């Protein structure tokens, strides 16, 4: 793995359940792990759903393997561009581990939304 390609600071978040003052269940996200990663476009699709076209782009996010975090498809990744402040949120679809002895983790993701 080329460490120079890991040029994006990402946060891996896990969904948690808390209660508000009235005892209602709230779904929130908490950061489980922050690290450097590379984000590459893997594939793109144009889907037709409910009388409109939807663009679906698959991203490949690569990061160093760590034993301190268990990665799962129920998590999400948040990346904030440092120059523009645009926040990218990615939903993890699959977790792939390389066969070269736990050197890197590859996360296949879809982008949920982009906001400022």
State the DSSP string of 88-103: EEEEEEEEEE-TTTS-
Q: Which CATH architecture has domain 3-115?
A: Beta Barrel (2.40)
Mean pLDDT, to the nearest integer, of 31-41? Answer: 93
Higher pLDDT: 51 or 97? It is 97
State yes or no: pLDDT of 115 exceeds 90: no
50 pLDDT tier (thresholds 50, 70, 90): confident
Degrees, nearest 5: CA angle 94-5-36:
65
């Amino acid at each position: 793995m080329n460490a120079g390609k890991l040029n994006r600071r990402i946060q891996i978040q896990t969904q948690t359940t808390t209660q508000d003052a009235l005892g209602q269940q709230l779904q929130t996200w908490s950061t489980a792990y922050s690290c450097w990663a590379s984000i590459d476009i893997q594939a793109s699709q144009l889907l037709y759903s409910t009388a409109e076209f939807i663009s679906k782009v698959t991203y490949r996010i690569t990061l160093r393997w760590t034993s301190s975090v268990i990665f799962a498809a129920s998590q999400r990744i948040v990346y904030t561009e440092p120059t523009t402040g645009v926040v990218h949120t990615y939903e993890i679809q699959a977790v792939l581990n390389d066969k070269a002895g736990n050197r890197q983790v590859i996360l296949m993701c879809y982008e949920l939304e982009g906001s400022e």
